[in-house]
Amino acid sequence: MKNLIYISILIFSLNLFSCKEKENSKIPVKTEENTLEEHHEIIITKAQFNENKMQLGKMIKKHFPIVVMATGVIDVPPQSKQIVSSFYGGNIKRSNLLIGDKVRRGQALVTIENPEFVTMQQEYLEAKQNLEYLKNEYERQKTLFDEKITSQKKYLQAKSKYNSQLAMYNGLKGKLQLLNIKLSNVEAGNFTSVITLFAKINGYVTKVNVSTGTHISPNDVILEIVNTNHVHVELSVFEKDVMKIKKGQRINFTIPEAGDIVYEAEVHLVGTQIDEQTRTVKVHGHLHDESKNNFAIGMFVEAEIETLSTEAFALPEEAVVENENNLVVLKLEKQEGNKFIFEPVNVKTAKKYQGFVEVISKELKSEDTILIKGAFDLVRG
């Protein structure tokens, strides 16, 4: 029984010693018994300051805008996008491009094969040859008519046939030019059943809807090319806010799926027509620096358009702590040796923007040093 009592006492002593050792190993935030109510000051040591990674700072003047919220996408101007299609159908004979491939203006994109192309070239050559004959006949009849040797009827018939053939010739010529078929080859009798479509802009392939052997109909979208040298934000603003938007206003936007980085742009154009379904107006914004960003066309963006702006003294939001229905900041009164002495100061706040809050207090001056990080642990800890 005595042995049991000794063992119990020994265990209790060891536990008590262990608890005291753990307690002494922690660095408490408050080293004095001072409280906000009694002495209106908080004292901490330099070791506590460093251990809790606290920071000092001053009130600074910050820009507080009134903003209009908007959403939209990353886009490019119409002239920076090419939809590749053909006026005539056929089968894709060659298509080697993939999404993401870079192309240059004038580069061959795909080839299309269709026997009808040969027929059109034959018709063109026949029309050209007939045109030469009818032109000579028309000029001959005109000379005879001017000399009153032939009748007006024959002259007008020759003129009509020539003009009709000329119209047919020009029509066929235009079609072959649209198909990128060289007229010199056709006139030399070298016909082809294959046409080539070329890039009209520099850019990157963003869509590929065909492969070798695919049959396409007229105006089917074969490829899409986008030049990303000039991208912009295309925003939708609700009609209640449209009157506030003006050219030159600052736009801050983020891409939710790509992190919390804030990008800058400015309003360049404001639409004049309201979408009847969404009751929004398009706002076109130009980026401040396009070269540093690698945006993909169609990315969703969330934006704030700054309409009005004021300047005010501000602190980081975490520097202001709520304490018993009051808002408090800790002002550094003095530093004695390795101790920091802070005085709680009641403040009022107003506007907030990008992590800063406007601070209003007659007791604070711009040169005062404030605890901008770690105040919560001291006031509420």
Give 22's pLDDT tier (boundaries 50, 70, 90).
Answer: very low
Beta bridge partners of 108: 198
How far apart are alpha carbons 353 and 290 in whole angstroms? 25
How far apart are alpha carbons 252 and 262 in whole angstroms? 6
13, pLDDT greater than 60: no
Q: Which of 320, 243, 232 is nearest to 284 (CA)?
A: 232
Condensed to tens digits (0 to 9), the pLDDT of residues 318-362 reads: 999 988 888 999 999 988 889 999 999 999 998 888 889 999 998
Q: Which strands sit side by side in the sheet containing 108-113, from one edge to the other?
A: 194-198, 108-113, 90-95, 215-216
20, pLDDT greater than 70: no
111, 198 Cβ separation under 8 angstroms:
no
End-to-end CA distance of the chain: 47
Domains in the chain with CATH codes = 25-57+320-380 (no CATH), 66-77+230-309 (2.40.30.170), 80-226 (2.40.50.100)
pLDDT of residue 381: 63
188, pLDDT greater than 50: yes
Largest CA distance in the chain: 155
pLDDT of residue 379: 83
191, pLDDT greater than 90: yes
30, pLDDT greater than 60: no
Report the amino acid identity of residue 100. G
> What is each CA distance from 301 to 71, 159, 351, in whole angstroms?
6, 64, 24
Give 366's pLDDT tier (boundaries 50, 70, 90).
Answer: confident
279, 238 Cβ separation under 8 angstroms:
yes
Residues for the chain: how many in total?
381
How far apart are alpha carbons 117 and 219 in whole angstroms? 16
Share of the chain above pLDDT 90, in %: 63
How far apart are alpha carbons 336 and 283 in whole angstroms? 57
106, pLDDT greater than 70: yes
Q: Which residue has the higher pLDDT, 276 or 2?
A: 276
The model's pTM? 0.62
Q: Where are the beta strands (DSSP E) in 239-289?
A: 250-254, 263-270, 280-287
Mean pLDDT of 112-133: 93
232, 299 Cβ separation under 8 angstroms:
no
Mean pLDDT of 158-174: 93
pLDDT of residue 292: 67
202, pLDDT greater than 50: yes
